[in-house]
Amino acid sequence: MQYHAEVTIELKSGMLDPEGTTIKRALEHLGYQTESVATAKKYMIELDAESADSAKQMVDEMCQKLIANPIIHNYTIELGESK
Amino acid sequence: MKIAIIQFGGSNCDLDVLHVLQDVVGVDAELVWYKEEDLSQYDGAVIPGGFSYGDYLRAGAIAARTPIMDAIKKMASEGKPIMGICNGFQVLTESGLLDGALMTNKYPKFRCETTYLKVENTDTPFTSKFKKGEIVKIPIAHMEGNFYADKDTLARLNDNGQIVFKYSDKNGNVTDNVNPNGSQENIAGIIDPNRNVIGLMPHPERASEAILGSEDGIRMFQSMVDYIAKK
């Protein structure tokens, strides 16, 4: 079965996000007041696996070994069957 | 004695380090491509600066997972000295050989300038030729040099004397004003608990000849060579 995973990588809360801060300031220049702006990265992964559980486990391992840096990041995985 | 200089796709300070080791320090050194899996013939290694793999994913993240890093880990476990400079420091934190992470500079700008560093620890294979508390002049060139570690790790780095260099002014004052990237406690370089793996953002190879404006950096390479010779 082919699965589609969307991995979202965010900085842990309270960590400095200079890109978010810069965007927040630019929004202020355009007249938009915001409480905060945070950035995140999204990775779309297509993979074959025997079950949804094993697909999720594989993607989780990918996050831990490479895609995220556990020192500074949190991540979430959304998994569905490929269309 | 022979020192390996590790080359990844996108390394760009490799030839500078080779020049300094061979022509200025006068030690045998050679470039080693990242596909090599055996570094047993080398007595030490330098991971030079650059933009390995275009800084894709995170600076140093891809290089940290190449085959040669298993060989580097083996060298580290054997007590051989390993120095990571700039992108090399990022590679070492990403590979888990050093604590913490190097994040985007507080003001997200590529900072390329001379910095003054305070030498915090001289009891390492890389700083034996410095005096404790000495101020040295070594330039930086990076956008991801903002050192971060969680509270417990930071306390451990302090307690174990693992913080080797801090950004300071030329009189040795360690203040926010002279922190170029937002690093916690102005940290510019740290060492591992076994004290044979060092990482630093400043470029000692760019401060190793009088014509470059400073010769302070050469003593890091000389300390390393001295350490290997005495082993």
Q: Where are the domains of chain A?
A: 2-81
The number of folded domains in chain B is 1
Could you give the CA distance from residue A53 to residue B224 in angstroms, rounded to a whole number?
Answer: 50
CB-CB under 8 Å, A67 with B58: no
Model pTM score: 0.94
Could you give the CA distance from residue B166 to residue B216 in angstroms, rounded to a whole number?
Answer: 15
Question: Does any CB of chain A come closer than 8 Å to the CB of residue B205?
Answer: no
What six digits make up the tokens of B205? 């190879």
CB-CB under 8 Å, A22 with B182: no
DSSP, res A64: I
DSSP, res B57: S
Helix ranges restricted to H, chain B: 14-19, 68-77, 87-94, 151-159, 218-230
Residue partners of A32: CB distance under 8 A and separation at least 6 = none
Domain spanning A2-81, CATH class: alpha beta
- Rounded to two decimals, the ipTM of the complex is 0.82
Question: Does any CB of chain A come closer than 8 Å to the CB of residue B95?
Answer: no
Mode of pairing for the β-strands spanning B2-7 and B146-148: unpaired
- pLDDT string in tens for chain B (231-residue length): 999 999 999 999 999 999 999 999 999 999 999 999 999 999 999 999 999 999 999 999 999 999 999 999 999 999 999 999 999 999 999 999 999 999 999 988 999 999 999 999 999 999 999 999 999 999 999 999 999 999 999 999 999 999 999 999 999 999 999 999 999 999 999 999 999 999 999 999 999 999 999 999 999 999 999 999 998
Q: Is the dihedral of CA B155, B158, B160, B162 positive or negative?
A: positive
Sheet holding A2-11, edge to edge: A40-48, A2-11, A73-81
State the residue range of the domain holding B25: 2-230
